[in-house]
Structure 1
Amino acid sequence: MSLSTHVLDAALGRPAEGVAVRLERGGDCLAEGSTDADGRVKELAAELPAGDYRITFGTGGYFAATDQRGFYPEVVVSFTVTDPARHHHVPLLLSPFAYSTYLGS
C-alpha cells in the first residue's frame, strides 16, 4: 500500500505549501515530510501493512507562515488500512476554523 496526501487551503483558495506531515503507527514515526508547492506529499510511504495509522498535519506552523490565525495547531487523521495492495490518498481541506478529510484515490 502506498500513501499520499494533499492539503488545500480553503480560506486562501490555493494549495497549502509547507505543511509538516508525520505518519505514525503505534506511537512510532514511520515517515515525515512537508507539502510541496502543489500542497502534496506524493509518497509519504511506499509500503504499509494492514493496520491502524495516523497522519499529523502541522497546521499551526502553516497558519503562522501565511499570516492566518488558526484554531487548530494540528490536525490528526486516524485511519485503518485493510487492503495493503491499494493506494491510499488522504486529502485535507483546511481553513483556520474548520477542516475536512476523506479517502481519495
Structure 2
Amino acid sequence: MNTLSSHVLDTTSGKPVEGIALTLTLPNGDVLTGKTDNDGRFNQWGQKFEAGVYTLRFHSHDYLIAAHGKSFYPHIDIAFELESDGGHYHVPLLISPFGFSSYRGS
C-alpha cells in the first residue's frame, strides 16, 4: 500500500500556498478532497492507496487571482500512476499566474 502527499509553492513569491483546494480522483472513480495547510502541504487523505492511475486536481484560480490578479489556469490536473507497494508518493506543484510544473518528489 502507498501513501500520498503534496506541496504547493508559488514560484513568483517563493512562498508556500495555503488554502488550495485539492480533489483526488481514485482509479475506481471515487473522489477525496483536501486543502493545503499554512505550509502549502497536504497529506491527510485518511487512507493508503492501491496501485492504479490517479488524478490530483489543484483548484488554483482563486489563489492566483487573489495573489497576482491573473490566472491562466482555473485548475491544474496531474495524472500519475502508483505502483504496487511503491511506498510514499509526493506530488509537488510549482505555480505562477502563467505556468506550472510538477515532478515525483520524495
* Fold similarity call, TM over 0.5: yes
- Asked if 1:5 is matched to 2:1, the reply is no
Count of aligned pairs? 104
Alpha-carbon RMSD across the aligned residues, in angstroms, is: 1.4
Q: How far did residue 102 of structure 1 move?
A: 0.5
Larger mean CA deviation between 69-78 and 36-45 belongs to: 36-45
Unaligned runs of 5+ in 2: none
Cα pair distance change 1:64/1:33, threshold 3 Å? same
**Whole-angstrom CA distance in 1 between matches of 2:6 and 2:84:** 18
2:45 aligns to what SS in structure 1? strand
Question: Residue 96 and residue 67 in structure 1: after superposition, are their counterparts in 2 closer, same or farther (change >3 A)?
Answer: closer
1:79 to 2:80 alignment: yes
Whether the 8 Å contact between 1:2 and 1:45 is mirrored in structure 2 is no
Of 12, 28, 31, 2:30 maps to 28
Give the Å deviation of 1:12. 1.5
Gaps of 5+ in 1: none
Map Cα deviations across residues 30-88 of structure 1 (whole Å, 9 max, x no partner): x2111111000023353111000000000012113324311001000000001334110
Higher strand share: 1
The 2-side partners of 1:44 and 1:103 are apart by 18
- Within 5 Å, give how 1:1-105 maps onto structure 2: 1-26=2-27, 27-29=29-31, 31-105=32-106
Identity of aligned residues (%): 41
SS state of the match for residue 39, structure 2? coil
Normalised by the length of structure 2, the TM-score is 0.90
